[in-house]
């Protein structure tokens, strides 16, 4: 067994993912590929954060990283990673992607979300090696 951690980046390769006010932000895609189980570490910073975090998946890398794409969606029946995250505590939870090669986070600021809200996140993959 091997565990791999990968920083989740913006489309411009930054580890600080800014979600100002009611913006919707798509992170750079990351390979789910050969992972057997997955976890997500994440933490918000800023005054008055309030964001929704979802996992989108697609069959191939998006044509334009950081932009909405018709072939990238949240899986049917999937739960949000966070519906309304309003604290700046470090979080870690298991996530359960559907079968697919690529993933990315879709982060949406709620009506009261602060203009200085920033998310930092890492994806963890456990890969079983025979």
pLDDT digits (tens, 9 = 90+) for 27-84: 999 999 888 899 999 999 999 999 999 999 999 999 999 999 999 999 999 999 999 9
**8 A C-beta contact, residue 91 and residue 124:** no
Q: How far apart are CA 93 and CA 127, in angstroms?
A: 17
pTM over 0.85: yes
pLDDT in the model for residue 44: 96
Q: How far apart are CA 42 and CA 118, in angstroms?
A: 11
- Name the CATH superfamily housing domain 2-127: Galactose-binding domain-like (2.60.120.260)
Flag whether pLDDT at 19 surpasses 70.
yes
């Amino acid at each position: 067994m091997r565990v791999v951690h990968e920083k989740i980046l913006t489309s411009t390769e930054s580890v600080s993912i800014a979600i100002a006010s009611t913006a919707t932000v798509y992170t750079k895609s990351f390979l789910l590929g050969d992972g057997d189980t997955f976890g997500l570490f994440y933490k918000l910073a800023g005054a008055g954060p309030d964001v929704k975090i979802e996992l989108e998946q697609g069959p191939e890398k998006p044509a334009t990283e950081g932009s909405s794409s018709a072939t990238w969606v949240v899986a049917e029946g999937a739960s949000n990673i966070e519906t309304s995250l309003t604290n700046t505590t470090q979080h870690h939870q298991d996530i359960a992607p559907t079968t697919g090669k690529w993933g990315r986070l879709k982060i949406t600021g709620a009506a009261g979300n602060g203009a200085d809200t920033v998310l930092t996140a890492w994806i963890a993959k456990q890969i079983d090696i025979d």
